[in-house]
Chains A and B, each alone.
Chain A
Amino acid sequence: MAEKYLAQPDLGFIDEIVNLGGDTLKKCFQCATCSVACPIAPDNSPFPRKEMIAASWGLKDKLISSGDIWLCHECGDCSELCPRGARPGDVLSAIRSTAIVEYAQPKSLARAVNDPSKLPFLLGIPAIWFAIFAYITMAAGETMTRLFNKIGIAWSHDTHGAIAHSDFFSTWFVDLTFIPLSIFVTIAFAIGLKRFVVDIHENAVAENKTNRKDLNWGGLASAFVRIIPVILKHDKFNECEANKDRSTAHMMILYSFIGLAIVTGIFFVVLYIFHIPGPYSQFNPVKWIANISGVALVIGSCLMIKNRMAKEDQVTLYKDWYILCIVLSLGVTGLLAEMTRLAGAATFSYFLYYLHLIAVFNLFAFLPFSKMAHIVYRIAAMAYAEYGNRK
């Protein structure tokens, strides 16, 4: 603890937590059962008891800059044993939501992503964007070919007469959309992440949660490497009791994303360096990874949705449904687009591909702003905990 701490209660923050699913917050009477029930809370300054009192006092600055809120995997062991029904797991989840908005740049976009009334825009903007470029691909092929020839590159690839989604939506447009987008996302994350790491370090020093005085980025990077196996094996997740089945579902989604990222990378190289256009053969091993990942994505997200619906002592709000539905529709539209393509139903396949693009856009563009941002913040917090010897 710092020598002097002037509490600056933020009453608006309390309301925010309450609205984000932490409505049971004030029931807490600080018995500290939760800190013991939590299988992953460290012995020194464990969570979530201290977060519960800080939240009910409106100490926003203390909470959003705490790495501890990200160490929590929301398994619900604390909520299950809580004698007051204060559901610390849900409160921590709500705090993380506010932290994502806090570290996001631009903030207005973060607020829009978490506001159900803005959903039509989030879906509508990419819908219009992709519709325009699909129209250009389909209707203005000749113009585009001439235009591209002038700068010396081929507009369309020979697709050997098979149904190809690039006939509906040019791969050029796909990449012209997603490459700038990924640059934007990376920058948005980088800005947020830097502030985040500096903040959690300061907080850890102030609250004696680390024995490091200075923040060493190299040390942090090597800590990150050390925790990769923990993440891949879901070691922390598997320590949970109340919600064990969620670990499998989460693992499926994580691995399918890794699989799909690898596939995308390989095909990117194949297309632009080796100039071999899709669609690729189903006998291609890379395609196997793609298909397995797609199926795992659908099963994993269905399991997660099922778990969420079955759980009565855990609240599920828009922020959770939004991301679950995006992930599920990503998998479903992707697989269906592929299946209809193989079945020869071009119109269906094009339409499903169109929906797939919208889903990819939502997942990708809003990564730093939606609940998905936990990929970055949780990993950073876990790496920092490893670096800072949090025990």
Chain B
Amino acid sequence: MTTDKSASTGGIIMVVGGGISGLTTAIESAEVGYEVLLVEKEPSLGGRVSQLKQYFPKLCPPTCGLEINYRRIKDNPKIKVFTMAEVEEVDGSPGDYTVKIKITPRYVNEKCTACGECEKVCESEISNDYNLGMDKRKAAYLPNNIAFPSRYVMSSSMLEDDKNKVKEACKFDAIDFDMQEKSLEFKVGAIVWATGWTPYDARKISNLGFGMYQNIITNMMLERLAAPNGPTKGEILRPSDSKAPDTIAFAQCAGSRDENHLSYCSYICCMASLKHATYLRGQYPNAKIYIYYIDIRASGRKYENFYKKLKQDENIFFIKGKVAEVSEEESTGNINLVAEDTISGEKVRQNVDMLVLATGMQPNASLDKPNADLQFNSDGFIVNDFKEGGMFAAGCANKPADVITSNQNATGMALKAIQTLVGR
């Protein structure tokens, strides 16, 4: 990509969220010559995609798509990235917004080379959010092994003793505990909200036992277990006794298409479970996989073919009927599940080593509402008001979507933002 033939710019585009959608909007806008401020609340870009083992359509590892994008950002002086930054307030109108952002101190400056000496000496530990709390990490940590910026973070909860130790260990004078929270203000012409999603809190689904029984995990947890940079280095082992599971069941629509939880279809969970079946088949050729579903939503030719291929697999079983009751077999930690197979009309009671809940997407905008003049639908997704213009939602801030759809949408929103700047 080249930025040489860039058009003359008439303002700045702010992109909120540095996941796959935000990256796309930021890069597409910058590469046609616009100034972009990319605001990410985590210490690294990459968002949910960075947590996956593989992602659709080609089942690439996240490095595949993220590294090229990081590279494009590095090479492009028009993109300014703020990590650990959150939008506090938006004022103004299309073409003329004033945005206040708050930056949480990282306690590490640009001199960091990610050498890891600080991590070695630090003894304090914190819950590892990157692995959805399945393990702990040091209070001096690199967000993940493909983090961008590739720079350590010092948790504010680090013990004083450790603070001295890590400062001493750093040969580059990169650690600075005197950093303060910062507030910055920017004038921008357009804002693209790519605030993404959070896995729905499976604890709320009272009849599916998550949080009560160890061997009931969520699909994102499985993704972390399967990922080579995950808590088990890519080995899918069940939590209670680190046993390799022989029988694994998936409960589709766990909290999605459900008025008591998320009333909409989260779109990704069917394909995610099908993909997870391939992870399991790859790792455990003899394992039996049972997918309990209401409807399999494999939309489009490619996804349909993927589903068809899995249906042929002799170790993957599809049962039409939602898992609605679970219990734990005390002696083994196995999970007993109950569903009605609606094809045969019989209740199915099955004992499995592990149950995976295919939980859906909750828009972050519904959990932490942006302080801006935006419209939300009843599910908390941001509605795009193209007539008003100025602010747009891209990717999963706008609707549940896979990576391809998010990127198409994010590219479109880059164009919408540009149109606002040039006054069309």
Binding site for B on A (CB under 8 A): 29-33, 35-37, 41-46, 49-50, 81-85
Q: How far is the CB of A53 from chain B (nearest CB, A)?
A: 9
CA–CA, A32 and B323, complex, Å: 8
**Is there an interface contact between B349 and A83, defined as CB atoms closer than 8 Å?**
no
Chain B 322-339 interface mask (CB, 8 Å, partner A; 1/0): 111100000000000011
Given contacts A46-B347, A81-B207, A83-B253, contact A32 B259 (CB under 8 A): no
Scoring B257, B295, B322 by chain A CB atoms within 10 A of each residue's CB, the highest score goes to B322
Given contacts A31-B253, A36-B338, contact A83 B260 (CB under 8 A): yes
Q: List B164-203 residues whose CB lies under 8 Å from chain A.
A: none
Q: Closest chain B residue to A85 by CB distance?
A: B259
CA–CA, A33 and B207, complex, Å: 10
* Chain B residues whose C-beta falls within 8 Å of the C-beta of A82 in the assembled complex: 259
Q: How far is the CB of B297 from chain A (nearest CB, A)?
A: 12
Q: How far is the CB of B407 from chain A (nearest CB, A)?
A: 31
Known: A46-B345, A84-B259. 12 other contacts (CB 8 A): A31-B294, A32-B342, A33-B322, A36-B322, A36-B340, A46-B340, A49-B342, A81-B260, A82-B259, A83-B260, A84-B257, A85-B259
CA–CA, A162 and B180, complex, Å: 94
* Chain B residues whose C-beta falls within 8 Å of the C-beta of A49 in the assembled complex: 340, 342
**Is there an interface contact between B347 and A35, defined as CB atoms closer than 8 Å?**
yes
**Is there an interface contact between A36 and B324, defined as CB atoms closer than 8 Å?**
yes
Q: Which among A30, A42, A43, A81 is the interface contact of B342 at CB below 8 angstroms?
A: A30
**Is there an interface contact between B324 and A33, defined as CB atoms closer than 8 Å?**
yes
Q: Closest chain A residue to B337 by CB distance?
A: A36
**Is there an interface contact between A44 and B259, defined as CB atoms closer than 8 Å?**
no
* Chain A residues whose C-beta falls within 8 Å of the C-beta of B345 in the assembled complex: 44-46, 50
Q: List B336-379 residues whose CB lies under 8 Å from chain A.
A: 338-340, 342, 345-347, 349
What are 19 A-to-B residue pairs whose CB atoms are below 8 Å? Answer: A30-B342, A31-B294, A32-B322, A32-B340, A33-B322, A35-B347, A36-B324, A36-B325, A36-B338, A44-B345, A44-B347, A46-B340, A49-B340, A49-B342, A81-B324, A83-B258, A83-B261, A83-B322, A85-B259
Is chain A's interface secondary structure helix, strand, loop, or mixed overall? loop
CA–CA, A46 and B340, complex, Å: 8
Q: Which among B258, B294, B347 is the interface contact of A30 at CB below 8 angstroms?
A: B294
Binding site for A on B (CB under 8 A): 207, 253, 257-261, 294-295, 321-325, 338-340, 342, 345-347, 349
**Is there an interface contact between B322 and A31, defined as CB atoms closer than 8 Å?**
yes
Q: Which among B253, B257, B260, B339 is the interface contact of A36 at CB below 8 angstroms?
A: B339
* Chain A residues whose C-beta falls within 8 Å of the C-beta of B342 in the assembled complex: 30, 32, 49
CA–CA, A29 and B345, complex, Å: 15
* Chain A residues whose C-beta falls within 8 Å of the C-beta of B325 in the assembled complex: 36-37
Q: Which among B257, B321, B339 is the interface contact of A83 at CB below 8 angstroms?
A: B257
Scoring B207, B322, B338, B340 by chain A CB atoms within 10 A of each residue's CB, the highest score goes to B340
Scoring A32, A46, A82, A84 by chain B CB atoms within 10 A of each residue's CB, the highest score goes to A32
* Chain B residues whose C-beta falls within 8 Å of the C-beta of A50 in the assembled complex: 345
Q: Which among B294, B321, B339, B349 is the interface contact of A29 at CB below 8 angstroms?
A: B294
Q: Which among A32, A44, A81, A85 is the interface contact of B339 at CB below 8 angstroms?
A: A32
CA–CA, A50 and B325, complex, Å: 18
* Chain B residues whose C-beta falls within 8 Å of the C-beta of A32 in the assembled complex: 321-322, 324, 339-340, 342
CA–CA, A49 and B347, complex, Å: 11
Given contacts A35-B347, A44-B346, A45-B345, contact A29 B340 (CB under 8 A): no
* Chain A residues whose C-beta falls within 8 Å of the C-beta of B340 in the assembled complex: 32, 35-36, 46, 49
**Is there an interface contact between B349 and A37, defined as CB atoms closer than 8 Å?**
no
Q: How far is the CB of B245 from chain A (nearest CB, A)?
A: 23
Q: Closest chain A residue to B322 by CB distance?
A: A31
CA–CA, A177 and B4, complex, Å: 103
Scoring A31, A50, A84 by chain B CB atoms within 10 A of each residue's CB, the highest score goes to A31
CA–CA, A82 and B322, complex, Å: 11
Given contacts A36-B325, A37-B325, contact A29 B257 (CB under 8 A): yes
CA–CA, A37 and B260, complex, Å: 15
CA–CA, A66 and B260, complex, Å: 30
Q: Closest chain A residue to B207 by CB distance?
A: A81
CA–CA, A81 and B261, complex, Å: 11
CA–CA, A12 and B342, complex, Å: 26
**Is there an interface contact between B347 and A36, defined as CB atoms closer than 8 Å?**
yes
CA–CA, A45 and B342, complex, Å: 9
CA–CA, A76 and B183, complex, Å: 53
Q: Closest chain B residue to A29 by CB distance?
A: B294
Q: Closest chain B residue to A1 by CB distance?
A: B345
CA–CA, A47 and B334, complex, Å: 27
* Chain B residues whose C-beta falls within 8 Å of the C-beta of A30 in the assembled complex: 294, 342
CA–CA, A45 and B341, complex, Å: 9
* Chain B residues whose C-beta falls within 8 Å of the C-beta of A35 in the assembled complex: 324, 340, 347
Q: How far is the CB of A96 from chain B (nearest CB, A)?
A: 21
Q: When A and B form their complex, which 4 residue pairs have the shortest distance between CB atoms, in order from nearest?
A: A83-B258, A36-B324, A32-B340, A35-B340
Q: How far is the CB of A208 from chain B (nearest CB, A)?
A: 9
* Chain B residues whose C-beta falls within 8 Å of the C-beta of A85 in the assembled complex: 259
Q: Closest chain A residue to B341 by CB distance?
A: A32
* Chain A residues whose C-beta falls within 8 Å of the C-beta of B338 in the assembled complex: 36
* Chain A residues whose C-beta falls within 8 Å of the C-beta of B253 in the assembled complex: 31, 83
CA–CA, A30 and B253, complex, Å: 13
Q: Which among B259, B321, B324 is the interface contact of A37 at CB below 8 angstroms?
A: B324
CA–CA, A32 and B295, complex, Å: 12
CA–CA, A30 and B259, complex, Å: 15
Q: How far is the CB of B318 from chain A (nearest CB, A)?
A: 14
Q: How far is the CB of A268 from chain B (nearest CB, A)?
A: 49
* Chain B residues whose C-beta falls within 8 Å of the C-beta of A83 in the assembled complex: 253, 257-261, 322
Q: Closest chain B residue to A49 by CB distance?
A: B340
Q: Closest chain A residue to B323 by CB distance?
A: A36
CA–CA, A129 and B294, complex, Å: 58
Scoring B258, B294, B347 by chain A CB atoms within 10 A of each residue's CB, the highest score goes to B347
Q: Closest chain A residue to B255 by CB distance?
A: A83
* Chain A residues whose C-beta falls within 8 Å of the C-beta of B339 in the assembled complex: 32, 36
**Is there an interface contact between B257 and A45, defined as CB atoms closer than 8 Å?**
no
CA–CA, A44 and B349, complex, Å: 12
Q: How far is the CB of B343 from chain A (nearest CB, A)?
A: 10
* Chain A residues whose C-beta falls within 8 Å of the C-beta of B322 in the assembled complex: 31-33, 36, 83
Q: How far is the CB of B337 from chain A (nearest CB, A)?
A: 9
Q: Closest chain B residue to A208 by CB distance?
A: B345
**Is there an interface contact between B346 and A45, defined as CB atoms closer than 8 Å?**
yes
CA–CA, A82 and B295, complex, Å: 16
CA–CA, A49 and B340, complex, Å: 9
CA–CA, A152 and B394, complex, Å: 98
CA–CA, A204 and B258, complex, Å: 32
Q: How far is the CB of B72 from chain A (nearest CB, A)?
A: 42
Q: How far is the CB of A72 from chain B (nearest CB, A)?
A: 15
* Chain A residues whose C-beta falls within 8 Å of the C-beta of B294 in the assembled complex: 29-31
Q: How far is the CB of A39 from chain B (nearest CB, A)?
A: 10
CA–CA, A233 and B76, complex, Å: 77
**Is there an interface contact between A37 and B207, defined as CB atoms closer than 8 Å?**
yes
CA–CA, A175 and B347, complex, Å: 52
CA–CA, A29 and B320, complex, Å: 12
Q: How far is the CB of B119 from chain A (nearest CB, A)?
A: 45
